[in-house]
Structure 1
Amino acid sequence: MSYQYNDQFAAATRQFADTAARINQLTLDNVQKAFGLQLSTLEENAEATFSFLGEAADVRDFDGLKTLFPKGVQVARENAERALSAGQEVFGATVKTNEAIAEIAKSQLESATVKAQAAAEKVVASAAKTTKRR
């Protein structure tokens, strides 16, 4: 009898470990994508900003400063757009990852419910047989 409980416990533990490993892998993949995207966005923004600053260092007169101002605004706008786009992409990927994790949890809950119902039906059937014998 205790072998049966040990076997059930071992199976449940194995299933829990497999599920946790899948969830961890999904989470790590999402973090890796998000970090890579944010890093590449930072790199592009820094490159554009330093390029602009290089141009600004070459300005020697007021007319050059007048032409530099619109370029500065353009660089700032593009940097903000890239950052916003990256943030939206990271958010979308995180939502998809959370949906996948929720689906895994849902399937585990459904599986546990089916097993519990089967065990309950077995107990009810056993109790019904015992009652009929008396």
Structure 2
Amino acid sequence: MNYQYNEQFAAATRQFADTAARIGQLTLDNAQKAFGLQLATLEENAEATFSFFGEAAEVRDFDGFKTLLPKGVQIARENVERAISAGQEVFGATVKTNEAIAQIAKAQLESATAKAQAAAETATAQATKPAKRR
């Protein structure tokens, strides 16, 4: 009897470890995507900004500054748009990851419920079975 409980416990532990590993991998993949996307956006924004600063350093008169100002505003707007777009993409990926994790949890819960129900039905059937007489 003790062996049966040990086997059930070992099986449940393996199942929990497998589930935790799948959830951990999903989470790690999502974090990696988010970090890569944010880093790429930061790189693009920094490149555009430093390019603008390079042009601004070459301006020597007021007319040059007047032509440079709209370009600076345009670069700032594009930087903000890229940052917002990256944030939305990261959010979308995170939502998808959370949905996948929820599906795994739901499947685990359904599996555990089915096993418990089967065990309860077996126990009920054994309890209602007439005792064998000698």
Q: Taking structure 1 as the reference length, what is the TM-score of the superposition?
A: 0.97
**Which residue of the partner structure matches residue 4 of structure 2?**
4
Q: Which residues of structure 2 form unaligned runs of 5+?
A: none
**Which residue of the partner structure matches residue 116 of structure 1?**
116
Determine the C-alpha separation between the residues in 1 that align with 2:106 and 2:77.
43
Determine the C-alpha separation between the residues in 2 that align with 1:46 and 1:112.
51
Report the Cα offset of residue 130 of structure 1. 3.8
> Is the aligned partner of 1:18 residue 2:26?
no
**Which residue of the partner structure matches residue 37 of structure 1?**
37
Report the Cα offset of residue 132 of structure 1. 9.1
Where 1:60 maps in the other structure, the secondary structure is coil
Report the Cα offset of residue 131 of structure 1. 6.7
> Is the aligned partner of 1:61 residue 2:66?
no
Q: Which amino acid aligns with 2:4?
A: Q
Report the Cα offset of residue 15 of structure 1. 0.2
Determine the C-alpha separation between the residues in 2 that align with 1:126 and 1:31.
50
Identity of aligned residues (%): 83
Q: Which amino acid aligns with 1:121?
A: E
Determine the C-alpha separation between the residues in 1 that align with 2:45 and 2:86.
12
Q: Which amino acid aligns with 2:62?
A: F
Where 2:60 maps in the other structure, the secondary structure is coil
Report the Cα offset of residue 110 of structure 1. 0.1
Determine the C-alpha separation between the residues in 2 that align with 1:100 and 1:44.
31
Report the Cα offset of residue 67 of structure 1. 0.4
Q: Which residues of structure 1 form unaligned runs of 5+?
A: none
Determine the C-alpha separation between the residues in 2 that align with 1:65 and 1:32.
41
Report the Cα offset of residue 2 of structure 1. 0.1
Determine the C-alpha separation between the residues in 1 that align with 2:131 and 2:99.
47
Determine the C-alpha separation between the residues in 2 that align with 1:132 and 1:103.
46
Q: Which amino acid aligns with 2:28?
A: L
Alignment RMSD: 1.2
Where 2:129 maps in the other structure, the secondary structure is helix
**Which residue of the partner structure matches residue 27 of structure 1?**
27
